Structure 1
Amino acid sequence: MAWGPPPARVVIVGAGQGGFQAAASLRQEKFEGEILLIGAEEGLPYQRPPLSKAYLKSGDAEALNLRPAAFFEKNDVTLRPGTRVTSIDRDAQRVQAGGSEIPYDHLILATGTSNLRPTIEGLDRALDLRTLVDAQRLRVAMEDAERCAVIGGGFIGLEFAAVARGLGRRVIVAEASDRLMARVVSPEMSARFADKHCEIGTELALGRTVTSVSSGGIAFDDGTEMPADLVLLAAGVRPNDDLAREAGLACDNGIVVDATLLTADPAISALGDCAAFPDPRTGRMVRLESVQAATDHARAVARRLVHGTEDPYAAVPWFWSDQADWKLQITGFGRPQDDSVRTENGAILRFDGEVLSAVETVNDAKTHMKSRRLMAAALTDPGAGLVRDRLASVGYDLLAL
């Protein structure tokens, strides 16, 4: 497709990590047009990962800000916080927000995700941990809570559980799957973290479904109950694609985009947690809940809009989670069915068929960084040889390559 000059006015819906980075990257790429950044939450754009860790301990909200207010004035970015976009008129290229119609030449959807709401009786008694307001409520509730119950054994639930145990609270984590973090890590790493959480005193209820939440705690489908003064819902998220869906854009586990993060509408891009895009290694459609992916997506979209580049997004995803004194780091994107090999230094290598798909490490930054370099090289050079036979020949030691 032939690209014309950069758009005169870019409107960004969503002022999280991806939306903020899109605005910042446009200016870094010398974009001279108007930028309007619209966020549903009040206040400045902020980091979400610390909400389940550092913020619960410190309560320092200002430390979360991605940039001070002066940044937006200096870079001529109009920020409209506390404003919800309710519809998109693609024919007129306008969005409806805050009671007014806002025109755009290009629209970037960075709408993120929201918490899943499973069918559980009394779920409105449970607290969420998605926004700063959620985290503030949780901190207050923790002051008087002696027993905490967590519904969900993913990153957020386990990070909170580790913090709560560190503060002396009794904690139970209820996970419907038979292992922790089942969607994102290998069975071996799940087992390792289960042992860790048991070691620090967290009670785990694996393979058990919560059916109700009451003022006294939670109840399971077998009729047993567990007392709790505080219940946290951390049962996963869903992409915020309703706005795009209502505008007639294709959505399938997120807003469907091509390899350049463009929707079927040439005036609309989508990025970050809400976008379903082709994995550069396999071509499969994926959606990543990752600060790194949101940041890299935003930079790629900014380059395309300013310079007309049509280079496909091609970055190796990586993730992290801090739980107690362990830092879990993951390079790549493994699926539950991928094979696993544990190395002598404790790293887990996962294989999609014969090809390395992901590397999992704990407190091993050296191996993590080496895996990122090797897997990035393999994206541009398929002959780089990250296949099972070659890795087996060096004892699966990435540092030997």
Structure 2
Amino acid sequence: MDGIVIIGAGECGTRAAFMAREAGYVGPITLIGKEPHLPYERPPLSKLADGMVQMKQICVAGALEATEIRYLPGVSASAIDVASHSVRLTDDAVLQYDKLLIATGASPRHLNCVGAQHALDFRTYADADVMFSRAQGAKSAAIIGGGLIGMELAAVLRGRGIKVSIIEAASKPLGRAVPPRFAERLHLHHVKEGVAFHLGQGVSEIQKGGAILTDGTAVPADLVVGAIGVVPDTELAQQAGISTGNGILTDMFLRTSAPDVFAAGDCSAVSQIGGGHMRFESWRNARLQGETAGRNMAGANEPFNGMPWFWSNQYDLSLQVVGLPSAGHAQVSRTIEGGDLEFYLDDGRLVAAAGLGVGNACAKDIKLAEMLVANGASPDPSQLADPAVNLKVLLKSLRAA
């Protein structure tokens, strides 16, 4: 047997490997990565350093060697046989596993219009390298999709002096995950920075010189980028007969329907206490689920109880959202120096919070709000609204009680 085998060497799979060792697992661990690089973090890809794409490595080769984690770069899994506990790789090698983690992540959702091949993806280091290399000689860019990735890329490209157009099928950008007040503020900030928006529009054709909208409008662009979201990579699991839905379905312990097979990260949908499954897409979720899976493969029996959280930097503004805000929640607003906060209460209990401000103006308050949510706090709304009331005091009072 090859002990623990992990398919996917992103944030989730790599953290799982290290955590299994930290949890005391002494058997073989094999980490399979389809990219040729050492494992790296994805968020920095949209944040250039000295005009170059950043590759922030999760670990160095020496760390893998020191913990006796066998890393196989530039290869991927082609099939899983749950009956024989084996994984076949694209180089025809076969690995036997005691425990298997599927951490294949997600892939960009592709456009289905004429000329879709002319649109660039933005997911991997190679994608980022191609896009920013082409951006060096570009004067204009069209970004299809007004979500977080599309808006972040728009900010970066505007910072390089490139004229940017965002094409979004919805009536407003950032409509799915961002509180409406903050989405509107970010939208207006982009307009102020010179970004042109084509809202309520689809794309009928992409040409080398730009995009044609469904109403016939031509959007000239030297560079076209598709940013319409991602889809979980579940094909391996489906072919192996493992249960899938909007992701690979797992229980609260990240176990799939197949014995000794776990799934975690962007590819997984985790069972929820209230019923159904939820798939989280964020860097921190990938890390926390990977660590939980690593401990469980090493012999623990720990449920995943991470809280949804994401952030986005656009120009000088930073957005953070913790929990799952809903229009049905009671909302409380607070204005602080350099930013604004929104708190969300469900039957009096704090369940989510969001902050938008300059730089790290809201970071401390969002962290404290996350701790209040995790502790099941039901704070007085008037205290949440009052900037003179330190959230740390509310947290201390809750813990003392």
Same fold (TM over 0.5): yes
Q: Aligned equivalents of 1:182 and 1:304: distance in 2?
A: 36
Q: Is 1:348 aligned to 2:346, yes or no?
A: no
Q: Which residue of 2 aligns with 1:357?
A: 351
Q: Which residue of 2 aligns with 1:41?
A: 35
Amino acid at match of 1:84: S
Q: Aligned equivalents of 2:213 and 2:329: distance in 1?
A: 31
Q: Which residue of 2 aligns with 1:3?
A: none
Moved over 4 A (4+): 335-341, 351-355
Among 270, 284, 288, the residue aligned to 1:296: 288
Q: Is 1:17 aligned to 2:18, yes or no?
A: no
Q: Is 1:333 aligned to 2:324, yes or no?
A: yes
Amino acid at match of 2:385: G
Q: Aligned equivalents of 1:343 and 1:211: distance in 2?
A: 43
- Whether the 8 Å contact between 1:189 and 1:348 is mirrored in structure 2 is no
Q: Measure how far apart 1:279 and its partner are.
A: 4.1
Q: Is 1:248 aligned to 2:241, yes or no?
A: yes
TM-score under structure 1 normalisation?
A: 0.90
TM-score under structure 2 normalisation?
A: 0.90
Amino acid at match of 1:107: L
Amino acid at match of 2:68: D
Deviations 1:15-74, CA, capped at 9 Å, x for gaps: 00000100111111121010000011111111111111235933343xx21111111111
Q: Which residue of 2 aligns with 1:231?
A: 224
Q: Measure how far apart 1:8 and its partner are.
A: 6.7
Identity of aligned residues (%): 34
Among 14, 23, 28, the residue aligned to 2:22: 28
User: Cα gap change, 1:377/1:284 in structure 2, threshold over 3 Å: closer, same or farther?
Assistant: farther
Q: May I ask how many residue pairs the two structures share in their alignment?
A: 383
Unaligned runs of 5+ in 1: 1-6, 379-383
Q: Aligned equivalents of 2:133 and 2:301: distance in 1?
A: 48
Q: Measure how far apart 1:343 and its partner are.
A: 2.8
- Whether the 8 Å contact between 2:82 and 2:259 is mirrored in structure 1 is no
User: Cα gap change, 1:211/1:396 in structure 2, threshold over 3 Å: closer, same or farther?
Assistant: farther
- Whether the 8 Å contact between 1:56 and 1:135 is mirrored in structure 2 is no
Q: Which residue of 2 aligns with 1:391?
A: 381
Q: Which residue of 1 aligns with 2:373?
A: 375
Q: Aligned equivalents of 1:184 and 1:57: distance in 2?
A: 30
Q: Measure how far apart 1:367 and its partner are.
A: 1.4
Q: Aligned equivalents of 2:276 and 2:333: distance in 1?
A: 26
Q: Which residue of 1 aligns with 2:175?
A: 182
- Whether the 8 Å contact between 2:82 and 2:240 is mirrored in structure 1 is yes
User: Cα gap change, 1:93/1:224 in structure 2, threshold over 3 Å: closer, same or farther?
Assistant: same
Q: Is 1:278 aligned to 2:271, yes or no?
A: yes
Q: Aligned equivalents of 1:86 and 1:265: distance in 2?
A: 17
- Whether the 8 Å contact between 1:121 and 1:211 is mirrored in structure 2 is yes
Amino acid at match of 1:22: A
Q: Which residue of 2 aligns with 1:124?
A: 117
Q: Aligned equivalents of 1:67 and 1:302: distance in 2?
A: 16
Q: Which residue of 2 aligns with 1:108?
A: 101
Larger deviation: 117-126 or 49-58? 49-58
Q: Which residue of 2 aligns with 1:309?
A: 300
CA RMSD of aligned residues (A): 2.0
Q: Measure how far apart 1:341 and its partner are.
A: 4.2
Unaligned runs of 5+ in 2: 395-401
